[in-house]
Amino acid sequence: MASHTYVATLKDSTTVFKNDIFQGKILFCTGGGSGICRGMTEAVMRHGADAVIVGRKLDRLTQTAKELSAATGRTCIPAQADVRQPKMLQEAVNKTIERFGKIDFVICGAAGNFLAPISGLSENAFKTVMEIDTLGTFNTIKATIPHVRQSKGSYIHVSATLHYKATPYQVHVSSAKAAVDALSAVLAVEEGPHGVRSNVIAPGPIGGTEGMQRLSNIADGNSSRLPLGRVGDIKDVANATVFLFSEAASYITGQVVVVDGAMEHMRHFQFPYPQAVLDPGSVQKMIQGKL
Ligand SMILES: NC(=O)c1ccc[n+]([C@@H]2O[C@H](COP(=O)([O-])OP(=O)(O)OC[C@H]3O[C@@H](n4cnc5c(N)ncnc54)[C@H](OP(=O)(O)O)[C@@H]3O)[C@@H](O)[C@H]2O)c1
């Protein structure tokens, strides 16, 4: 069986972007207490920004904020809020303004997920995911937009690739993330004239996250079917975040940036992979005609 001849590099954004490009900027990040959004926050802080991370579990937020501050030399503070509750979000925004005076960047990343077929999914379970992912994104935009307009800032919404094709057992998240993509595009068009940008990052399966450990076996290090020879890392999403918030992306808005190492394009590839592309002769028997 042929194996990969190439494995994509995994570098810190600071090896590519200067470490002071976000000096004086303030990030407001929902979901920043853990996983991918924590990594996105850390990367933005490593380039000079201070941050507020938002979630429901104050203990974890407080611990994460301490660790991020220590790791980056910047300031990170926790703000407890459930994104389904506009009042709580407003309080988190008020806390941000009291402490830092402004908001430049917003990451809408809070989300929930689990596996369930439509036949086994309760109305309440569907509604809960829609409320956290979609309504939570809407609420976050509403609470932050006056400040982001003022700073001519930028949004990144964390979506997924599940809804590009039908993904069994993921109807709730697929529906919610499709709506998040739509929200971001409309935000880009409505707020562009105010100097605000809005983009989506759609991660593929990202290794080392709780979601992947629970929902999939791809993150178990089985990278033999992945075009770039390895599973996605939180750092891959973090690096895309730095680019999209940077001035290098000042004409990029209303877009979805997929960070999945081309996995999305692999869903219908019928032959053993990468054997089929590295050694076409090995699949000759399976096809009509010559490769
Ligand atoms: N993991 C992947 O491979 C993958 C792939 C594609 C897309 N994504 C997306 O990437 C983002 C991060 O995912 P992750 O895997 O890193 O998951 P995670 O660690 O579970 O992060 C989710 C975060 O959202 C917060 N949250 C959940 N419900 C909330 C609510 N009602 N109000 C406020 N905060 C809430 C959680 O904090 P509290 O519990 O403290 O509230 C947690 O910090 C999500 O948008 C997810 O859909 C992940």
Question: What is the full DSSP assignment across 30-86?
Answer: ETTTSHHHHHHHHHHHHTT-EEEEEES-HHHHHHHHHHHHHHHSS-EEEEE--TT-H
Q: What is the CATH number of the domain that holds 69?
A: 3.40.50.720
**Separation CA 157–CA 241 (nearest Å):** 10
Listed in sequence order, the residues at least 6 apart from 89 whose beta carbon sits closer than 8 Å to its beta carbon are 54, 81, 83, 139, 140, 142, 143
Q: What parts of the chain have a pLDDT lower than 70?
A: 1-3, 214-222, 269-270, 287-291
Q: Does residue 13 sit within a domain? A: no
The pTM (predicted TM-score) of the whole model is 0.95
User: Does residue 89 contact residue 105 with C-beta atoms inside 8 Å?
Assistant: no
**Separation CA 109–CA 261 (nearest Å):** 20
> What is the pLDDT, as a whole number, of residue 134?
98
Q: Does residue 185 sit within a domain? A: yes
Residue of minimum CA distance from atom 36 in ligand 1: 31
Measured in angstroms, how far is the CA atom of residue 37 from the centroid of ligand 1?
7
Q: Does residue 245 sit within a domain? A: yes
> What is the pLDDT, as a whole number, of residue 235?
98
Domain that holds residue 224: 18-261+269-286
Q: Does residue 5 sit within a domain? A: no
The number of domains in the chain is 1
- DSSP 8-state secondary structure symbol assigned to residue 131: I
Q: Does residue 23 sit within a domain? A: yes
Residue of minimum CA distance from atom 12 in ligand 1: 36
Q: Does residue 7 sit within a domain? A: no
Using CB distances shorter than 6 Å, the residues near ligand 1 are 30-31, 33-37, 55-57, 60, 82-84, 109-113, 132, 136, 158, 160, 203, 205-206, 209-212
- Catalytic residue at 69? no
- Catalytic residue at 159? yes
Q: Does residue 62 sit within a domain? A: yes
Q: Does residue 172 sit within a domain? A: yes
Residue of minimum CA distance from atom 23 in ligand 1: 31
